[in-house]
Amino acid sequence: MSVSRKDFPEGFEFGVATAAYQIEGTRNGIVGPSHWDSYAATLGNVVNGENGDVACDHYHRYGEDLDLVRDGNFDTYRFSTAWTRVMPDGRTVNADGLAFYDRLVDAVLERGLKPSLTLYHWELPEVFADAGGWSNRDTALAFGDYARAVMDRLGDRVGAVATINEPWCIAWLSHFLGLHAPGMRNIRTATRAMHHINLAHAEGMQAIRASGSKADAGIVLNFAWPKPESDADAKAARRFDGIHNRWFLEAITKGQYPADTLDGLGPYMPDGWQDDMAAISAPIDWLGVNYYTRTTLRDLPGAVWPAFEDVPGPLPKTDMGWEIYPDGLGDMLTRIARDYTGDTPIIVTENGMAGDDHLDGQTCDDPVRVQYFDDHLQSVLRSIKQGTPVRGYYAWSLLDNYEWSFGYDKRFGIVYVDYATQARYPKASYHALKDAIG
């Protein structure tokens, strides 16, 4: 790789990221049902009808997995706790579940790594799904209780904590586009989820602060660089940007929603939403930025709001069909700091790609991924040189894992997982990152 640790500011954190449902295995230990289980059990939703029952069996293999993180010269391990493991019925603490995360955090620390905790990475307990899920305000309030239970147990040892991972996916992708659990397509439900997920962030922040934890607290948002297909599509790209990027960023940093997005969503907002905005914009200590690709937008004149569709762009694509556009990461970081977050530290909490990876004996050569990381790290460096306070970069993901609606079909890991044996094989990208940051 052309970059190395010495190119980055002193103290810059290199890490790898994972999420509970994607790796732990819900059959391990005591875990309650989540909306991902029933979504996956519905014919046609997930490739091969696969679910997180076994996943990477990380629940039993976390020691071996954390050895890989340490031996890869990383500084930070980003992981999530599952609400369904901590509270299988959504409300009652399961001692066995918290004990697992206790062991996990200690194992992270024993290896000299910094634990970075995410409280919600998508496995909503089914009891809330039954009551309307994120379209119901009560779900956000219950999330605060869950956050408090986790922080009371782990808050003395985690270095950083994020309330929510990728609110756009939780709200829009899942309730308007219907592509993630619960697989709905309804603008009223989606709009309520768009607000209640921000309220859950507010409740989570209050719980973290009230727990007395010294962990740096924030939220992880996912961004896509909006690209109009032609000059005539500029307004469509702006509408996409409002829903995908500015809705959450503006709420959290300025306590307001973008006016152009409210033009479409306003009629469906829950009563009294304005009263929540002060809590939603309470100060955060850091912002997590997930970035993978850009999105090309085509205007749909005469269609109902938001009247756009995304269309394939011309650049080379990953196995997900996502265009590889490294400049979008640096440009987005620069824009976020300039227009929204100022001096607040930013961490790139996810960046990576799915590849058509194959084992050859014990090795897996993934040169496209090596180039992807190199180009995106160069883009981060360019933004840092422009003055953006980027403090870390985490690769997604440590392991091949359950890629939601794509099941186990897409491989994002820097470590190959043979699901038949659960053996782990570091890919060439793991070795390349290890050498670059050693």
- Pairing status of strand 415-418 against strand 423-426: antiparallel
Continuous H helices in 298-416 = 327-336, 367-385
394 lies in the binding site for ligand IFM (CB under 6 A): no
| Euclidean distance between CA atoms 414 and 399, whole angstroms | 6
The answer to whether 391 and 75 have CB atoms below 8 angstroms apart is no
Whether residue 350 lies in the annotated active site: yes
Whether residue 250 lies in the annotated active site: no
- Residue holding tokens 């930025």? 289
CA atoms within 13 Å, Cβ hemisphere of 84: 26
290 lies in the binding site for ligand IFM (CB under 6 A): yes
Position among 8, 120, 372, 396 found at the interface with ligand IFM (CB under 6 A): 396
The answer to whether 428 and 373 have CB atoms below 8 angstroms apart is no
31 vs 221 by CB, closer to ligand IFM: 221
Binding to ligand IFM in span 328-357, by CB under 6 A:
350
247 vs 396 by CB, closer to ligand IFM: 396
Binding to ligand IFM in span 227-246, by CB under 6 A:
none
Count of Cβ atoms closer than 10 Å to residue 387 Cβ: 10
| Euclidean distance between CA atoms 384 and 393, whole angstroms | 12
| Euclidean distance between CA atoms 235 and 260, whole angstroms | 10
19 lies in the binding site for ligand IFM (CB under 6 A): yes
Give the distance, in angstroms, between the CA of residue 380 and the centroid of all CA atoms in the same chain.
Answer: 18
Position among 86, 403, 405, 437 found at the interface with ligand IFM (CB under 6 A): 403
Position among 24, 123, 166, 299 found at the interface with ligand IFM (CB under 6 A): 166
**Cα angle: 317, vertex 221, 197; to 5 degrees:** 125
Q: Which of 123, 166, 229, 250 is catalytic?
A: 166
- b/e sequence 221-240, b meaning 16+ C-beta within 10 Å: bbbbbbbbbeeebeebbbbb
123 lies in the binding site for ligand IFM (CB under 6 A): no
The answer to whether 115 and 159 have CB atoms below 8 angstroms apart is yes
50 lies in the binding site for ligand IFM (CB under 6 A): no
Nearest approach, Cβ of 351 to ligand IFM (angstroms)? Answer: 10
79 lies in the binding site for ligand IFM (CB under 6 A): no
Nearest approach, Cβ of 166 to ligand IFM (angstroms)? Answer: 6
Tokens for 228, please give them: 């109009």
User: Which sign does the torsion angle of CA 23, 28, 30, 32 carry?
Assistant: positive
Three-class secondary structure of residue 255 per DSSP? coil
| Euclidean distance between CA atoms 404 and 162, whole angstroms | 21
The answer to whether 413 and 423 have CB atoms below 8 angstroms apart is no
Q: Which residues are catalytic?
A: 166, 350
Judged by the rule CB under 6 A, the positions of this chain that interact with ligand IFM are: 19, 22, 166, 290, 350, 396, 403, 412
